Amino acid sequence: MANRQIARRIVVSGALSICLLFFLFIRPQGPPSPAVRAPGHIVHPSTNAPGIVIQDDLLKGAVVMPRLGNETVKAELGRATWKYFHTVMARFPEKPTTDEQDALRSYIYLFARLYPCGECAEHFQQHLNKYPPQVSSRKAAAGWACFIHNEVNVMLDKPEFDCNDLGAFYDCGCAGDEDEAGAEDGTHPATSRAAGKSDEPDPLDHLAVEISKEAHRRYVTLKMFINSASLGKQLDDELNIYRRIEGASQNHPGREYVRSLLDSFDVDGPEEKHRCLVHPPLWENIKADNLMFGIDDDSVFSDFEENELRDPSPGKELDGRTIYVSRELRMPKRLDAPVLCDFGSAVFGDEKHTEDVQPDIYRAPEVILEAPWTYSVDIWNVGCMIWDLFEGGSLFSGRDPEFQTYRSRAHLAEMISLLGPPPPSLLAQGDLTGKFFKEGNFCAGIPVPEYTPLEARETTLEGEEKEKFLCLVRKMLQWEPGKRSSARELEEDDWVQTGLRG
């Protein structure tokens, strides 16, 4: 019995912590970053770049500068910096020594760490992780810089620059400062070259640098929306939530517990377009109510691939398509932490909401009353869910004796029986208050069940343990949203912390 309690407590504390980390993570952290196409760049830190003489930790450490925020300053700084950055590459030796190559590589990593716009620096480091600097020659460096600038352009929804035109934009100075002809007729040497006025071949013309976007193969999961058209706005909502998540700090403690989006695209079907989201694969544990886990074992997929090649799954033609028999994935040897996914119904917390949300029995009072709601509805939800997990039965059923099904009035009556009458301040905000209350009194045509306090409902714990657990639940189950504890406060709760320490 005691062991069961401890195990349950660890599960509850773990589940709560993941939920709380998630809330902390989704909480707005400034304007959403446009890191849309970049997410794939974030996942696999590169191994140490060869030949770096300074400690890797110093070069690739955390971003130094704070968030910049101001978009105008950010853009001005960016333009000036790119000019400088490309000019550095344009003037880099054509045949650099090893020392010069090391110097440039180290410089680029430090440049990324110290770039004065913190959020830009963080994104830039992610690009560097995926596409390490190319420093073997001027052409390689200039081509790489152009490529990486284009990655930033794409991330910011800007057009890509044609890297073959690089020589026309950045003066390497290699045609000689004494490009008198250009100076005399008032044209910039680079412009002259672009117009074909210089006889000197431009070492940056026709860059032959190819940077592979596929540094290594990886396995991915595609989530395809069958009825994209019928989802309407909701289709973009999920993508926008993933974009917000990808744009948030990758160092956030909750990051690894939230599914990543690597990319997205639309494919044409016979009748409509279908949105596809590209994710790292997850393992679904059917028995534990569809908990999804990260997979730390690629052999599951390589085995799957080999088996499919050796013995292809049978398929049949149907309506012009081939349908294949599914092949089972074997159980991975190692699973990562559980991961939160499926954000189709997630919303941004910095907008006003009164719409109906949450599974019936977890609906918060303000949701039922159609009063404005915010993050604290999730706190109410977690409070109810913890009770379910720990006690093995729901606090509220909302089952209306008259209709024999869920009804808001029955749910409210159960809340009143547990918490007493709701405060006038909450009632005053609800568009639907008049449907259930008159002058503050509950009159929805249904009796309020007999008052049974939480102490009487909790039957598995005793003494101090029980007190602490109920104290945690009460921090969440408050009529007034503002009186519920925040996710951070709950994470520090005594009962949760003791459970996590095991």
Stretch of 77-85, 207-215, 236-244, 348-356 contacting ligand FAD, by CB under 6 A: 77-85
Residue 87, interface with ligand FAD (CB under 6 A)?
Answer: no
Burial code of 445-460, b = ≥16 C-beta within 10 A, e = fewer? ebeeeeeeebeeebee
Q: Which of 385, 382, 408, 412 is closest to 479 using CA atoms? A: 412
**Exactly one of 150, 191, 354, 394 binds ligand FAD (CB under 6 A); which one?**
150
Residue 146, interface with ligand FAD (CB under 6 A)?
Answer: yes
Residue nearest to ligand FAD (CB): 78
Q: Which two tokens stand for residue 44?
A: 């696999």
Cβ of residue 116: shortest distance to ligand FAD, in angstroms? 10
The residue (of 150 and 187) whose beta carbon lies closer to ligand FAD is 150
The residue (of 211 and 346) whose beta carbon lies closer to ligand FAD is 211
Angle at CA of residue 415, ends 373 and 367, nearest 5°: 20
The residue (of 146 and 477) whose beta carbon lies closer to ligand FAD is 146
Q: Is 257 helix (H, G, I), strand (E, B) or coil?
A: helix
Q: Do residues 30 and 118 touch, judged by C-beta distance below 8 A? A: no
The residue (of 110 and 444) whose beta carbon lies closer to ligand FAD is 110
Strand-pair partners of 499:
none
Cβ of residue 59: shortest distance to ligand FAD, in angstroms? 15
Residues 16 to 75 in contact with ligand FAD, rule: CB under 6 A = 74-75
Cβ of residue 203: shortest distance to ligand FAD, in angstroms? 15
**Exactly one of 20, 59, 104, 152 binds ligand FAD (CB under 6 A); which one?**
152
Count of beta carbons in the 10 Å neighbourhood of residue 84: 11
Strand-pair partners of 353:
373
Cβ of residue 81: shortest distance to ligand FAD, in angstroms? 4
Size of the site for ligand FAD (CB under 6 A): 22
What does the alpha-carbon distance between residue 256 and residue 139 come to, in Å, rounded to a whole number? 38
Q: Do residues 124 and 112 touch, judged by C-beta distance below 8 A? A: yes
Q: Do residues 412 and 444 touch, judged by C-beta distance below 8 A? A: yes
CA distances from 298 to 305, 332, 472 (A): 11, 8, 40
Cβ of residue 105: shortest distance to ligand FAD, in angstroms? 16
Per-residue binding string, ligand FAD, 103-142, x by CB under 6 A, is ------------x---xx--xx------------------
The residue (of 123 and 411) whose beta carbon lies closer to ligand FAD is 123
What does the alpha-carbon distance between residue 182 and residue 190 come to, in Å, rounded to a whole number? 9
**Exactly one of 29, 87, 137, 153 binds ligand FAD (CB under 6 A); which one?**
153
The residue (of 10 and 110) whose beta carbon lies closer to ligand FAD is 110
Catalytic residue among 237, 297, 336, 388: 297
Count of beta carbons in the 10 Å neighbourhood of residue 409: 19
Per-residue binding string, ligand FAD, 166-185, x by CB under 6 A, is x--x----------------
Strands 405-406 and 321-324: unpaired
Count, residues in the chain: 502
Per-residue binding string, ligand FAD, 442-471, x by CB under 6 A, is ------------------------------
Q: Which of 251, 212, 258, 24 is closest to 123 using CA atoms? A: 251
The question of whether 311 is a catalytic residue gets the answer no
What does the alpha-carbon distance between residue 69 and residue 136 come to, in Å, rounded to a whole number? 35
The residue (of 170 and 283) whose beta carbon lies closer to ligand FAD is 170
What does the alpha-carbon distance between residue 239 and residue 346 come to, in Å, rounded to a whole number? 10
Residue 92, interface with ligand FAD (CB under 6 A)?
Answer: no
CA distances from 38 to 14, 119, 194, 210 (A): 31, 13, 32, 19
Residue 156, interface with ligand FAD (CB under 6 A)?
Answer: yes
Q: Write the DSSP string, 302-323.
A: HHHHHHHHHSPPPEEEETTEEE
The residue (of 64 and 75) whose beta carbon lies closer to ligand FAD is 75
Which residues carry out catalysis? 297
Q: Which residues bind ligand FAD (CB under 6 A)?
A: 74-75, 78-79, 81-82, 86, 115, 119-120, 123-124, 146, 149-150, 152-153, 156, 158, 161, 166, 169
